Chain A
């Protein structure tokens, strides 16, 4: 698993949703629960997946026809890394500047 080159507030919000939500979470749910725009969440998930923090897979719901949802989940290593990253980010960021995940932008 790779270290993230940069840790932004948006990435931390995505991590919080993945960490606190009930897995598996599909991409649209991450967008909604993080309160971040889709244009921020898609790249964040892509970076996290590339770094090995997150894994994704297609849904296997046979009852739903058409395009499949993509589900996301923290990997075992990603859980520990996410905990550290969230703690590190919150320690260095004044509480007033933090935004709770789910806050609308």
Chain B
């Protein structure tokens, strides 16, 4: 099956069940015959996707977005953003300029990212993305909503809002750390940075940073290229764990267990990778590669990409069988 056929097949899953077979066949015929009328397959795929996901009304997404946040969640997000204060400020941190000697801004960025929080990030991801869905399942809220809103639309809205929320939070979190390290640090006079302590000059430290950690290869294309792409990668990875939590909540009756699984997968796979002597295959290093020898970007993304494929497959199966989910009955 070629990619465009797969894409319209996925788009069809977002349609009401009685329309799926019809549009899947119609779009596949359109893909086959697109050349005949001078249209591209991309135009057909975009049209199918737009039509299918347009069946999710904007109003439903707005409602979900408004209802998905609580003050507790906002406080947790604020705490995450302020975590750098713990690392940066004097007494315990880098601004003191006494305890740590760093080569350059990438080292500052690594210090900001290498916190104990990294290991617990799936817990926060699930908290931000799955909490409301879990509560609604518990109250059988969805059963009563189902009469007014198509269940596929409702669950898809949960998935979109959950993934978008954690993507935004983690993207911002990483980009904030990057801005502190690469933009604020020079303004502060580069405290704690002394490349000579590593037998480097400021110039050679820059070239050295290109081969220091996975993804830092991107620094050769510019600081912000690295910052933006790495932040987007962390955001995407966080979305994968959110999607995993949401799909498991749909099928596992024990909601605390379902919400714990993303963390167990993250932690368990990381431990297993270490035991087998494959640290670069660990999920935590795929997301936060600091402190490990540089791998190619392909190797770096592989563990999370495999997980993303598995979670994507789980969601495809879920949309095919959503009406049979007992949690939504």
Q: Do A and B bind each other?
A: yes
Interface of A is mostly: helix
* Contact partners of B34 in chain A: CB under 8 A: 28
Query: Knowing A29-B37, A32-B37, A32-B39 touch, does A70 contact B28 (C-beta < 8 A)?
Result: no
* Contact partners of B30 in chain A: CB under 8 A: 27-28, 38, 69
A-B contact count (CB 8 A): 66
* Contact partners of A70 in chain B: CB under 8 A: 22, 25-26, 29
Instruction: Establish whether residues B38 and A32, one from each chain, have CB atoms under 8 Å apart when the complex forms.
Output: yes
Instruction: Establish whether residues B49 and A39, one from each chain, have CB atoms under 8 Å apart when the complex forms.
Output: yes
- Kindly identify which residue among B28, B29, B32, B39 contacts A31, using a CB–CB cutoff of 8 Å: B39
Q: How far is the CA of A46 from the CA of B36 in the complex (A)?
A: 23
Instruction: Establish whether residues A28 and B22, one from each chain, have CB atoms under 8 Å apart when the complex forms.
Output: no
Task: Say yes or no for A43: interface residue by CB 8 A criterion.
Answer: yes
Instruction: Establish whether residues A38 and B26, one from each chain, have CB atoms under 8 Å apart when the complex forms.
Output: no
Instruction: Establish whether residues B54 and A43, one from each chain, have CB atoms under 8 Å apart when the complex forms.
Output: yes
Query: Chain B, interface size: which category?
Result: 20 to 34
Q: How far is the CA of A10 from the CA of B233 in the complex (A)?
A: 38
* Contact partners of B51 in chain A: CB under 8 A: 38-39, 42-43, 46
> In the complex, how many angstroms separate the beta carbon of B225 from the nearest chain A beta carbon?
31
Task: Say yes or no for B91: interface residue by CB 8 A criterion.
Answer: no
Task: Say yes or no for A67: interface residue by CB 8 A criterion.
Answer: yes
Which stretch, B40-48, B239-247, B252-260, touches the partner chain A?
A: B40-48
Task: Say yes or no for B296: interface residue by CB 8 A criterion.
Answer: no
Task: Say yes or no for A66: interface residue by CB 8 A criterion.
Answer: yes
Instruction: Establish whether residues A68 and B49, one from each chain, have CB atoms under 8 Å apart when the complex forms.
Output: no
Task: Say yes or no for A23: interface residue by CB 8 A criterion.
Answer: no
Closest B residue to A36 by CB, please name it. B47
New A-B pairs, 18, CB < 8 Å, besides A39-B51, A42-B51, A69-B29: A27-B26, A28-B30, A28-B37, A28-B44, A38-B30, A38-B39, A38-B44, A38-B48, A39-B48, A39-B49, A42-B48, A43-B54, A66-B32, A67-B25, A67-B29, A68-B26, A69-B30, A70-B26
Give B residues with C-beta under 8 Å from A: 22, 25-26, 28-30, 32-34, 36-39, 43-44, 46-51, 54
Q: Would you list the 8 A-B pairs with minimal beta carbon distance, nearest first?
A: A38-B47, A39-B50, A67-B28, A67-B29, A42-B51, A39-B47, A70-B26, A32-B37
Give A residues with C-beta under 8 Å from B: 27-29, 31-32, 37-43, 46, 66-70
